Amino acid sequence: MIRQLPIFILSGLLFGAGLAVSGMADPQRVRGFLDIFGAWDPTLIFVMGGAVMVMMLAWPLQRRMLHPLLTNKFQLPSRKDVDRPLIIGAIIFGIGWAIAGLCPGPALIGLVLEPLSALIFVVAMTFGMAIYRVLPMP
């Protein structure tokens, strides 16, 4: 496990820095993307487009590798069924995302950029996750 630590640190650093560079740390800008009837801000498309482009190169590479560089197997999502929890969860997430202009990544880096407000959101987000954890789910 300890061998993988540098990978998680490097990935986390890049992820956090990328979010901060991209403008997505700013809830107002994210809401601007969703505000198609107002002063629409398409920046998020460039962010997601850039990230997806890199990952579209990474996935074919992954399929050719027998195992990841620093561990013995890939542990990836395998489900292919589109079920009700997926859709309802996505709708609930979308509503929350729009209300505050925050999804999990930007909210977490907000803890060092705008600590007080971000902390309120992150605590509430953790509660939301805890509620899911204790609710009996099918």
Subset of 9-48 contacting another protein (CB under 8 A): 9-29, 31-32, 34-48
Q: Tokens 């700013």 — which residue?
A: 26
What is the enclosing helix (H) or strand (E) of 131? helix 115-134
**Count of residues in contact with another protein, rule CB under 8 A:** 117
136 touches another protein (CB under 8 A): no
Sign for the pseudo-dihedral over CA of 104, 59, 20, 12: positive
Query: Cβ of residue 66: shortest distance to another protein, in angstroms?
Result: 11
Query: Cβ of residue 75: shortest distance to another protein, in angstroms?
Result: 5
Residues in region 91-110 near another protein by CB under 8 A: 91-105, 107-110
Residues in region 109-128 near another protein by CB under 8 A: 109-114, 117-118, 120-128
CA distances from 70 to 7, 67, 73, 86 (A): 8, 8, 9, 31
Say if CB 34 and CB 127 are below 8 A apart. no
Query: Cβ of residue 19: shortest distance to another protein, in angstroms?
Result: 6
Query: Cβ of residue 60: shortest distance to another protein, in angstroms?
Result: 10
Count of CB atoms situated within 10 Å of the CB of 107:
22
Which token pair is 127? 């509660």
Residues in region 64-83 near another protein by CB under 8 A: 65, 67-71, 73-77, 79-82
